Amino acid sequence: MNNSIEIKELSLSIEGRSILENISFGLGEIEIACLLGPSGCGKTSLLRCIAGFEKLNHGEVSIKGVIMNNPNHYIPVEQRNIGMVFQDYVLFPHMDVRKNITFGIADLKPFRIKERLDELIELFGLEAHADKYPHQLSGGQQQRVALARAMAPRPRVLLLDEPFASLDIELRESLARELRSILKQDSVATIMVTHNQLEAFAMADIIGVMANGKLMQWDTPFDLYHEPKTLDVANFIGEGTFVKGEIINQTDVKTDIGNIKGHIPHNYDSGEKVQVLIRPDDILHDDDSKLTALVKEKEFRGPQFLYTLEMKNGLFLQSLVPSHHDHAINEPIGIKMAIDHLVVFPDIGE
């Protein structure tokens, strides 16, 4: 598969301060990627490098096989045919939805403009709002118009910087799923910046986890969750607790909460000290189990409770439990481990 975007050993420094360090990845022609990480990790700076707003100290950015920038070569932003939507997107208040969407394709022949406009109006479900002005639209509708405007010229790639940040949580997730379907229909490679894991999981074929200007892992959402490459990635993705353990063999680990069975993905020696990641979905509520824990905190999530449990040895774990099991704080409940795939890292001590 050919890559729409190719990043090779990209590094960026501003006023002597390292912003990005030795980043490399490729994105396929119709793939959607999310750059995920905490504020200040460099994800927006990386997006700006791809767009052409920053000049590189080292490395290379290529789009559709054409070098866009390296330390000795630079193609201006306006010549890259990139669609962009930023967090502070602005619609033209004096233009209706139709004119906002077609602003960037006004030089096309009229029938081509109408053809593309009709296509985008339908894709984004804006048929009932095409004659409205921005102030007459909801936040979600305005966001759809901004996205349609960015996609109108059929860009080589689409870059999105926290595009749902101003929307409420429920609308963010539904619009993320909707946008993924639209991008796939329109066959446009996309990179989106977010710090919201649920948005990233809803949108992305590939997720890049960033920290301190480095790309820690570039992988599918499934593999990020089940096979994090580092402790930092494991801590950032999802919820969970690390438990100290000792390798017995390739399917058994001895821990403070008992022996845990499961497939260990890497070769560890018998007796080696490790840390085992226990996620909330690894611990099941079982009234018949001899292993018990006290409910110390509970968070209602509709179909489930997220319980924080205290084991007899003082260790705290989390468990997702169907919400019809509504237990009181400090009530003991039976639990059992149900771990199919172990996430294990060497224990390097405190």
Looking at the fold, whether 204 and 299 belong to one and the same domain comes out as no
Domain boundary among 177, 204, 235: 235
Range of the domain at 37: 3-235
Residues 6+ apart with CB under 8 A from 43: 35, 36, 37, 193, 208, 210
Looking at the fold, whether 215 and 245 belong to one and the same domain comes out as no
Looking at the fold, whether 287 and 216 belong to one and the same domain comes out as no
CA 120 to chain CA centroid, nearest Å: 25
How many domains does the structure of the chain reveal? 2
Looking at the fold, whether 199 and 252 belong to one and the same domain comes out as no
Looking at the fold, whether 222 and 243 belong to one and the same domain comes out as no
**Is 27:159 a contact under the CB 8 Å cutoff?**
no
Q: What is the CATH number of the domain that holds 328?
A: 2.40.50.140
Side chain identity, residue 227: E
Residue 176: per-residue pLDDT = 86
Looking at the fold, whether 113 and 195 belong to one and the same domain comes out as yes
Looking at the fold, whether 174 and 94 belong to one and the same domain comes out as yes
Residue 102: per-residue pLDDT = 96
pLDDT in tens, the chain (350 residues): 578 999 999 999 998 899 999 999 999 989 999 999 988 999 999 999 999 999 899 999 999 999 999 999 999 999 999 999 987 778 999 999 999 999 999 999 999 999 999 999 998 999 999 999 999 999 889 989 999 999 999 999 999 998 888 777 777 878 888 889 989 988 899 999 998 898 899 899 999 999 999 999 999 999 999 899 998 899 889 888 999 999 999 889 999 888 898 888 778 899 999 999 999 999 999 989 999 999 999 999 999 999 999 999 999 999 999 999 999 999 999 999 888 778 999 987 65
* Coil, strand or helix at 306: strand
Domain boundary among 235, 253, 270: 235
Residue 350: per-residue pLDDT = 57
* Coil, strand or helix at 26: strand
Q: Which residue has the tokens 């489930």?
A: 304
**Is 126:97 a contact under the CB 8 Å cutoff?**
yes
Looking at the fold, whether 184 and 172 belong to one and the same domain comes out as yes
User: How many CA atoms are closer than 13 Å to the CA of 78, on its beta-carbon side?
Assistant: 1
Give the number of other Cβ atoms within 10 Å of residue 100's Cβ: 22
Looking at the fold, whether 222 and 178 belong to one and the same domain comes out as yes
DSSP track, 123-149: HTT-GGGTT--GGGS-HHHHHHHHHHH
Q: What is the CATH number of the domain that holds 73?
A: 3.40.50.300
Residue 321: per-residue pLDDT = 93
Residue 50: per-residue pLDDT = 96
C-alpha closest to that of 52 among 84, 80, 77, 16 = 77
Strands 206-211 and 32-36, bridge-based pairing: parallel
Q: What are phi and psi of 302, to 5 degrees?
A: 80, -100
Domain boundary among 235, 251, 281: 235
Residue 163: per-residue pLDDT = 86
Looking at the fold, whether 276 and 309 belong to one and the same domain comes out as yes
**Is 213:21 a contact under the CB 8 Å cutoff?**
yes
Give how far Cα 306 sits from Cα of 279, 291, 303, 329, Å. 11, 18, 10, 12
Instruction: Give the helix, strand, coil percentages of the chain, each rounded to 5.
Output: 25, 35, 35
Looking at the fold, whether 180 and 220 belong to one and the same domain comes out as yes
**Is 39:195 a contact under the CB 8 Å cutoff?**
yes
What is the per-residue pLDDT across 27-81, written as a single tens digit (0 to 9) for each?
Answer: 998 999 999 998 899 999 999 999 999 989 999 999 999 999 999 999 999 999 9
Looking at the fold, whether 230 and 256 belong to one and the same domain comes out as no
